[in-house]
Structure 1
Amino acid sequence: MDGNTTELSLVENLTVKPTIFPKSGYSILAFLMFLNAVFSIFNNVLVILVTIRYPQLRNPINIFILNVSFSDLMMTLCGTTIVVSTNYHGYFYLGERFCIFQGFAVNYFGIVSLWSLTILAYERYNFVCEPIGALKLSTRRGYQGLAFVWVFCLIWAIAPLFGWSSYGPEGVKTSCSIGWEERSWSNYSYLISYFFACFIIPVGIIGFSYGSILRSLHNLNRKIQEQGGKTNPEEERHVVVMVLFMVVAFLICWLPYTAFALTVVINPELNISPLAATLPTYFAKTSPVYNPVIYIFLNKQFRSCAIQCLTCGHINLDSPEEDTCSLVVPLPAENKITLKNNQVAPTY
């Protein structure tokens, strides 16, 4: 398929109203995406405001969490909000250039969020499992990690703009993304490379990091018990459940997205229904909603600061002696251990 044919096909897909769904079907999708956008914007804006307001939350580990919230917010503004409008109209009425922009933006901010979670998992592992790990993650190193994430992900997001794959309408033709359904070797090679760089490697790092953290916690508790000390089995089980929750949520978001791409590569002749082709990208668009809940709001220190911020200080979940959200003084010494635990798992 040559460039002119591809361009004409894209224009036709964008200018002709599809008949894939009845009007009520598009209305339901618009309503679901509207709820998605509202919760995503509220959650991520709250994360950003609270982190800015309370200096003690701006430690090197939380730099990556803040970056996740920013990229998720941009993904929502550039992707989900547009999908609300296009589903309301029943087709992508904004034109070819806007379609390419949306596909690029959703892809870019999506993999920035994905790789930020990956680096976050690795730094948590480094903090807990490596000798003097707490001294290794400085603010400078944190910003270097962020620079790597944004540049690395930009390379993958910008490649389709230069002919390695492409961006175009997908599924029920109310949103745009990577041209998964394009049957060409250029597209296949991009999808395979994308699969390894933006799914296999991140999943491997996340699995290894959190698996090592759980092993380290279990071994520490066992040594304490062998020395006659007391441990809290409920706390360990709680961490195990939450780590599994983080990993499972990650897979629910990104596994359908990558599985669809691989299916197209493995069996190019397979006829995938428009609705089935749409669902993976809609799963990915839900990540900005639950990422703040999993990685931020289940953190006791952040949750306490968020409640204080939302209630203008009228409700304080901490007792006066363990107040971790003071705007005037930094964390006292006795709270440093709590901060370390908060950096390891989101529920301590």
Structure 2
Amino acid sequence: MGNDSSLATELAESITVRPTIFPRAGYGVLAFLMFLNALFSIFNNFLVIAVTLKNPQLRNPINIFIFNVSFSDLMMSLCGTTIVIATNYHGYFFLGRKFCIFQGFAVNYFGIVSLWSLTILAYERYNVVCQPLGTLQMSTKRGYQLLGFIWIFCLFWAVVPLFGWSSYGPEGVQTSCSIGWEERSWSNYSYLITYFLSCFFIPVTIIGFSYSNVIRSLHGLNKKVEQMGGKCNPEEEFRAVIMVLVMVVAFLICWLPYTIFALTVVFKPSLNISPLAATIPTYLSKTSPVYNPIIYIFLNKQFRDCAVEFITCGHVVLTNPEEEEVSTSAAPAERKTPSKLNRVTPV
């Protein structure tokens, strides 16, 4: 019994007083970068949540998922990025093993909740734009059911490392904690492979399928409007293409390096990966809470107008009532394309 107690103490101390393996100036740079990351991500996501709660017109079924992305990104910043600022400042993870496990669990859980929320959002946009009338469209009830599925499904992948299927521990330059990517064991390999399939390959496939069909459908819709004698603005379609490309590229920048690193560990376990190389993918994934609100929220005109009004306490109002009246009185053929585009583009 005494030996077990001393072993546990040594294990905790090995995390707490582990010597630094990176230049002191390097830890300072990482701390500063994480400070900027936390500052912008907390502000951006808090603003999204506050503006959505204040404006009932923004709380439609599709925006439920955008709200969920902002909430999970905010929690990932609070439970992950803010901790990394302090640990990089000290040059090692000084908070102990239990806090290390907590941080790894929180970042993993809220990260994949955000990832799957973006995936469901992409698929629902595909339903709105591409599916004919009469198919299953998004409702508030269905939206909450899908949210429940996301949180329970992602909870499984975050909890199982606590029970021995993989584990949580220090990563990279030892100032943050996550899944034990560098652990060489068949238990960890099997977890990483299934984790890759369910939390990267399937989401990427759904997002790629959804947005490619959205672009194809919008292009076909513009052609039909022109054939009916309506006016079609090609700039709308161009903006839709750019928006989709930005979404997909940002998603891959965040998660592809993380995935490549994990699969490298699985298929080349003998490869010696430097701490700095192991740190880069994990820190790239922590940038997603910064740009997600910008891509999915602030590029949307309706939300942008509400956000400016909220920040300025109502002193600046961008929405022009006369423009809304003109838009409402426009011919159906002329209104159809912008109506659908507004669900997927920043206009």
TM-score (normalizing by structure 1): 0.92
Q: Deviations over 1:35-64 (max 9, x none)?
A: 000000000000000000000000000000
Q: How many matched pairs? A: 339
1:17 deviates by 3.5
Query: Which residue of the partner structure matches residue 270 of structure 1?
Result: 271
Cα distance between partner residues in 2 of 1:229 and 1:7: 73
Alpha-carbon offset, residue 136 of structure 1: 1.6
Q: Which amino acid aligns with 1:168?
A: G
User: Do the aligned partners of residues 39 and 299 (structure 1) sit closer, same or farther apart at CA in structure 2, a change above 3 Å counting?
Assistant: same
Q: What amino acid is aligned across from residue 99 of structure 2 in structure 1?
A: F
Supply the AA of the counterpart residue of 1:347: P
Map Cα deviations across residues 68-93 of structure 1 (whole Å, 9 max, x no partner).
00000000000000000000000000
Moved more, 314-323 or 80-89: 314-323
The whole-number CA distance in structure 1 between the counterparts of 2:149 and 2:68 is 12
Match of residue 38 from structure 1: 39
In 2, Cα distance between equivalents of 1:9 and 1:174: 19
Indicate the residue corresponding to 1:119 in structure 2.
120
CA distance in 2, matches of 1:303, 1:85: 33
Q: Percent identity?
A: 72
User: 1: distance between equivalents of 2:339 and 2:77?
Assistant: 30
Displacement after TM superposition at 1:21 (Å): 1.4
User: Could you tell me how far apart the structure 1 residues matched to 2:234 and 2:38 are?
Assistant: 39
What are the within-5 Å matches in structure 2 for residues 1-348 of structure 1?
11=12, 13-132=14-133, 136-322=137-323, 340-343=340-343, 345-348=344-347
Evaluate the alpha carbon distance shift between residue 62 and residue 178 of structure 1 in structure 2; reply closer, same or farther with a 3 A threshold.
same
SS across alignment from 1:280: helix
Distance 2:249 2:10 in 1: 38
Question: Following TM superposition, by how much is the alpha carbon of 1:147 offset from its aligned partner in structure 2, in angstroms?
Answer: 0.2
Structure 1 residues 279 and 7, CA gap change in structure 2 (3 angstroms): farther
Give the gaps of 5 or more residues in structure 1: 325-331
Letter in 2 for 1:284: S
Looking at structure 2, the residues matched to 87 and 347 of structure 1 have their Cα atoms a distance apart, in angstroms, of 37
In 2, Cα distance between equivalents of 1:298 and 1:60: 19
User: How far did residue 12 of structure 1 move?
Assistant: 5.3
Could you tell me whether the CA contact under 8 Å between 2:13 and 2:96 is conserved in 1? Answer: no
Q: Distance in 2 between matches of 1:198 and 1:10?
A: 31
The residue type paired with residue 211 of structure 1 is: S
Cα distance between partner residues in 1 of 2:14 and 2:110 = 25
| Structure 1 residue 15: Cα displacement | 2.4
Once the two structures are TM-superposed, the CA of residue 9 in structure 1 deviates from its matched residue by: 8.4
Amino acid aligned to 2:292: N
| 1:186 partner SS | helix
Q: Shift of residue 8 of structure 1? A: 8.0
Superposed CA RMSD in Å reads 2.4
Contact 1:121 1:206 in 2 (8 A): yes
Q: Secondary structure at the match of 1:318?
A: coil
Q: Which amino acid aligns with 2:346?
A: T
Preserved contact between residue 309 and residue 317 of structure 2 (Cα < 8 Å): yes
Distance in 2 of aligned mates of 1:60 and 1:282:
32
In the aligned structure 2, how far is the partner of 1:7 from the partner of 1:209? 49
Deviations 1:92-125 (A, max 9, x none): 0000000000000000000000000000000000
Check the 8 A contact 2:239/2:345 in 1, yes or no. no
- Whole-angstrom CA distance in 1 between matches of 2:157 and 2:179: 11
Aligned 8 A contact 1:168 1:178 in 2 = yes
Match of 1:275, SS state, is: helix
Q: CA deviation at 1:13?
A: 4.3
Residues of 1 paired with 2:200 and 2:10: CA distance? Answer: 30
Partner SS state of residue 178, structure 2 = strand
Q: Residues 141-177 of structure 1: CA distance to partner in whole angstroms, max 9, x if unpaired?
A: 0000100000000000001001000000000000000
The 3 A distance-change label for structure 1 pair 196 and 220 is same
The alpha-carbon deviation at position 133 of structure 1 amounts to 6.5
1:233 partner letter:
P
Q: Confirm or deny: 8 A CA contact 2:108 2:158 kept in the other structure.
A: yes
Q: 1:339 to 1:217 in 2, by over 3 A?
A: closer
Classify 1:150/1:322 alpha carbon distance in 2 versus 1 (closer, same or farther; 3 Å): farther
Q: What are structure 2's unaligned runs of at least 5 residues?
A: none
Label 1:10 to 1:148 Cα distance change in 2 as closer, same or farther (>3 A): farther
- 1:56–1:133 Cα change, 3 Å: farther
Structure 2 vs 1, CA of residues 20 and 120 (structure 1 numbering), >3 Å: closer, same or farther?
same
In structure 1, the residue corresponding to 2:342 is in which secondary structure? Answer: helix
